Amino acid sequence: MRRLAAVAAAGALALVPFGAAASLPPARVQVSADEFSLTLSRAAIGSGPAIIELVNFGEDDHDLALRRVGGTRTYRIGLVHPGKTGELETRLRAGRFTLWCTLSDHRARGMRAALRVTP
C-alpha cells in the first residue's frame, strides 16, 4: 500500500496544472548571418510565443524577413550591422516559414532558410 501511495504522489508531481502552458517561456531560434548564408540554431520550434534572434557574423549589413508559407504577414528584424544582434518577439502559428535577407541580391545569393513551427 505504501508503494502505491508513493507512486501516486510521484505521479501527481509530474502533472501540469491547467493553464500552466501559458506561463512557459517563448521558443527561441537564433539565425546566424554571414556572406551569403543563413544558418538556424534549430530547424523547428513549437507554436506560440517565440523569440527570433538575428546575429550578424558577416562583414556587410543584413536584415531578416520571415513569412508563413501561404500566409500574407511578413515579420521583420531591421538592419543589423556586422557584429551586432537584432531580435523579434512574436507569436507564430504552426506551419512552415521561409526566412530571407531582403537587402539587395542577398536572397538570390543564398541568404534564405526554412523554419518549421509545430503545433
What is the CATH number that goes with domain 24-118? 2.60.40.420
d(CA 111, CA 64): 9
Q: Per-residue pLDDT tens for 20-36?
A: 455 679 999 999 999 99
Quickly state the pLDDT bin for 2 (edges 50, 70, 90).
Answer: very low
Grid cell listed for 64: 531578416
Grid cell listed for 89: 518577439
Q: 2 vs 118, which has greater pLDDT? A: 118
